[in-house]
Structure 1
Amino acid sequence: MTTATLTRQIYYTRCPAPTATGVGAGLGVLQKALEASGFAPSALQDVTDPEIRRHHFEHGIANLIREGGNIPAIWPKSRGARTRLLGITWLDEIQAIVVRPNSGFQSIRDLASARFAVPVSAGDRLDVAGISAFRGIDQALGTIGRQLSDVNLVEVAHRPTPPGERGGEHFDDELEALENGRVDAVWLKSAVGAAAIISGRVRPVLRLDHVVNPLVRVNNGTPRTLTFHEDFIADHPQAVRAVLSAVTEAVHAIGEDRQKLWAILAGETGQSAADAEIAFGSFSTANLLPTLAENRLEALQHQADFLFRQGFIPNDVDVRQWALHQDDNA
């Protein structure tokens, strides 16, 4: 199916996280660029039809621009989805292994044989929350030469965020299990993670976002991916260039107005502006500009290889072949 068979309706979707398209939509420049290209843009999060909303995770329709966590982008690609990678962002956010405030665990080394929460979303074909926690725990243990077999992974029922819904990320179920003593440690991240730490509800024993090696910080949210469908790229290359130009303009503009940036990111993540500022305090304009820089491609390949090695995706993904540089689409 090509876009010739579609209406001029186009959807843009992003995860409840900082994205260039989220900033572009927040400033209105993304919508203006698409309207100038002859399209009627809508946020996928505003659509009520579940058959359309599910494409946040599947990207099975041509008239969709998707930016956000890399797992929901890599997964359909590994299953044959005809998408291309147009850009990657790298915005470090709070990632931490946390314990109860009164816990005797003082460092990640103390957590050998401890019980780590792994959220499980019943019925999800793609359990992003569970995979992300699994990855975060693995990354944390790797800093001390340990592996997942050295700890106990405890499944915790997790209320999933509906596909494409904005501001739905949470760790409520895992934190409840921690407080009730069912587990000893939880991996969490972003603005909601920052809020839990600031409140004193939990105490971090390792901040992954403070680890110097960037590959240790790789997870679903770092790096994030911007993908388009091949048919849309083929039929509307000028619109693709207009979108990339618009979001680049938006990120440059918002970088000079931090208060507005925190307000937009708070709206994207469903948290307060104060929590967003703390969670994403390392923001620089370059972090949120979608590029295909070699270090970002390497990090994304690191993630794709992990997902395949652990059996979370059916086929391996060659990130560099997936990437479409703008010069290739001239």
Structure 2
Amino acid sequence: MANNDVKVTTFENTKLNVRKLDWNEVFYTNCPLISASNVDQELGWTREEFKKLGVDYNYFRYYRETDWYPHYIHNQDNLIRFGGLFPPVHVQADIRRTRLLGVTHAPKEGGCMMVRSRDDIYTMQELKGKKIGISKSMNQVKNDWWRIQEHQGIELMLRINGMTMDDIELVEFPYADDWYNDPKMLEPMLNPSDLWLQRDHKHDLAFRPLETALEKGIIDACYTQSKPLQQLSEATGKFKAIEDLSLHPDWTLQVANIPAAITCSDVMYNEHPELAVAFMKGMIRVGRWSNENKHAAAGILDRQTFYLDVEHTFEGIKPIDIVPNLSPQNMASVEIGKDFMLKHGYIKNDFDVHEWAAPDIIEKAARELLEEEWHKKTMLKLPQAADPLSGAGRVG
């Protein structure tokens, strides 16, 4: 569905705004998904780690000087991002050097194919010759992560049902996607939760962009993220899922914009690694608490994610390890997402995801937490605390 009147945003016709760099302050940004950062923004434990260093720690939209683009293109050296996979892959490939500090994977949220609930369609094969929607951002400054996950999910669902893109009609829906430096969107925010308190995000169709076209019959089907968004659509009574990648045994199908990735700039990593370590100490602490108190964590996450309610959020996060890691399986998932983007032209340059990763940061964070806990406990009963972890050897 071509629309030549939709505004195109480029680096040439837009102005980027970022607060002047000061290493006495660190900023974070995150996506509304399952992560320790989304829990921590209510607990404040990572801020405690930065206070130990005498560094201010705030949401990146804390000051009006900064627009929304750093969340997508990481054009802020003292920023740490925790969010969907595709934007940081794009940044590392084509925009600037960053380091991957850890990931959190949601292993049972692969994506669904939605159709109208009263349509006489029950299988993917019945979509042959029919129209499947796909969005298209006209903003060339940032990564088109909505489209990439739709593209990846559609292609996978067709393939596991013995079909290809040639069997369906893919209908594009271009949109301007130009709000990132709109003055109306630049009111300072203390916390990402402020954004969700201002909008009914569980019923906001901005997060289900093709649902209206499906309801009106302009298309016959569309992709949506499974679990968080699928049930919101189905709760209207208007839609149903006929395919769900999360129900298949193949774990490599569960990689639509996930694992969620933590990235910092190469400048922070090289010149101020203690800041990255402080952030990861907070993520480990909050992640451990969340794993041990899943229902309490669900109560926090429900305020900013897309599950139906707290109980639904609780069920959704049960299989998720909320402590970030760089496990071999999760790194393989990162590589799958990166390779899809490269194959389909969503990034221009390739890179080695293992060289991107910085396991030394999370290892140092874990070591420091162990040492602090050891000193805390031994000082209660010893005249001088023992120091068994002070050597240079690796932990684990």
Q: TM-score, normalised by structure 1?
A: 0.88
Please tell me the residue identity of whatever aligns with 1:217: Q
Q: Equivalent residues in 2 for 1:128-277 (5 A)? A: 128-158=145-175, 160=177, 162-163=179-180, 167=196, 170-189=206-225, 191-220=228-257, 222-269=258-305, 271=306, 274=309, 277=311
Which segment drifts farther, 154-163 or 61-70? Answer: 154-163
2:77 corresponds to 1:41: no
Q: Give the counterpart of 2:116 among 100, 108, 121.
A: 100
Q: 1:286 to 1:75 in 2, by over 3 A?
A: same
Per-residue deviation at 1:49? 3.3
Between the aligned partners of 2:228 and 2:179, the Cα distance in structure 1 is: 19
1:116 and 1:195, CA in 2 relative to 1: closer, same or farther beyond 3 A? same
In structure 2, which of residues 67, 85, 93 is the aligned counterpart of residue 78 of structure 1?
93
Question: Deviations for 1:226-275, whole angstroms, at most 9, x for unmatched residues?
Answer: 11112212233233222212211112212333343223222222x4661x
CA distance in 2, matches of 1:98, 1:328: 39
Counterpart among 48, 73, 89 of residue 58 in structure 1 = 73
Instruction: Kindly provide the CA deviation profile for residues 173-209 of structure 1, in whole angstroms up to 9, marking residues without a partner as x.
Output: 4111011111011111253332112332211101112
Deviates more, 1:256-265 or 1:171-180: 256-265
Does structure 1 retain, via aligned residues, the 8 Å contact 2:98–2:266?
Answer: yes
Q: Is the 8 A contact 1:117 1:154 kept in 2?
A: yes
What does the per-residue CA deviation read over 1:156-181, in whole Å, with 9 as the maximum and x for residues that have no partner?
Answer: 24574955975568444411101111
- 1:114 is aligned to 130
Asked whether the equivalents of residues 259 and 333 of structure 2 are also in contact (C-alpha less than 8 Å), the reply is: yes
For 2:214 and 2:55, locate their aligned partners in 1 and report how far apart those are by CA, in whole Å: 48
- The one-letter code sitting in structure 2 at the alignment partner of 1:248 is I
2-structure distance, mates of 1:177, 1:46: 36
- Tell me if structure 2 keeps the 8 A contact 1:108–1:206: yes
Shift of 1:47: 4.2
The structure where helix makes up a greater share of residues is 1
Contact 2:256 2:337 in 1 (8 A): yes
Percent identical: 23
8 Å contact from structure 2 (residues 286, 323) kept in 1? no
- 3-state secondary structure, aligned to 2:237: coil
Supply the AA of the counterpart residue of 1:201.
K
Is the contact made by 1:89 and 1:288 (CA closer than 8 Å) also made in structure 2?
A: yes
Separation of aligned partners in 1, 2:26 and 2:248: 40
What are the within-5 Å matches in structure 2 for residues 276-287 of structure 1? 277-278=311-312, 281-284=315-318, 287=321
Aligned to 1:326: 360
Q: Which moved more, 1:154-163 or 1:110-119?
A: 154-163
Please state how far the C-alpha of 1:7 moved relative to its aligned partner: 4.2
Alpha carbons 1:99, 1:203 under 8 Å: kept = yes
Whole-angstrom CA distance in 1 between matches of 2:208 and 2:316: 25
Q: Secondary structure at the match of 1:267?
A: coil
SS at match of 1:77: helix
CA distance in 2, matches of 1:134, 1:110: 19
For structure 1, which runs of at least 5 residues remain unmatched after alignment?
Answer: none
Q: Say whether the 8 Å CA contact 1:94–1:193 is kept in structure 2.
A: no
Please report how far the alpha carbon of residue 50 of structure 1 lies from its aligned counterpart in structure 2 after TM superposition: 4.7
Contiguous gaps of at least 5 residues in structure 2: 1-19, 186-191, 365-396
Q: Letter of the aligned partner of 1:296 in structure 2? A: N
Could you tell me whether the CA contact under 8 Å between 1:237 and 1:329 is conserved in 2? Answer: no
Q: Tell me whether 1:308 sits opposite 2:345 in the alignment.
A: no
Residues 291 and 322, structure 2, Cα contact 8 Å, conserved in 1:
no
Q: What is the CA RMSD across the aligned residues, in angstroms?
A: 2.7
Q: Which amino acid aligns with 2:124?
A: I
Closer/same/farther in 2, CA of residues 159 and 16 from structure 1, 3 Å limit: farther
Q: Give the aligned length.
A: 323
Q: Give the distance between the partners of 1:327 and 1:179, measured in 2 at CA.
A: 47
Alpha-carbon distance between aligned partners in 2 of 1:19 and 1:152, rounded to the nearest angstrom: 36
Deviation at 1:290, TM superposition (A): 1.2
Instruction: Please say which structure displays the higher CA radius of gyration.
Output: 2
Question: Does 165-174 or 53-62 show the bigger shift?
Answer: 165-174
1:322 and 1:108 map into 2 onto residues whose CA distance is 37
For residues 191 and 180 of structure 1, do their structure 2 counterparts lie closer, same or farther at Cα, with a shift above 3 Å needed?
same
Q: In 2 relative to 1, CA 73–277 (structure 1 residues): closer, same or farther, beyond 3 Å?
A: farther
Flag the 1:307–1:255 CA change in 2: closer, same or farther, 3 A: same
Rounded to whole Å, the distance in 2 between the matches of 1:293 and 1:64 is: 24
The offset of 1:300, in angstroms, is: 0.8
- TM-score, normalised to structure 2, is 0.74
Which is bigger in relative contact order (C-alpha 8 A, separation at least 6)?
1
Question: Which residue in the other structure is 1:28 paired with?
Answer: 44
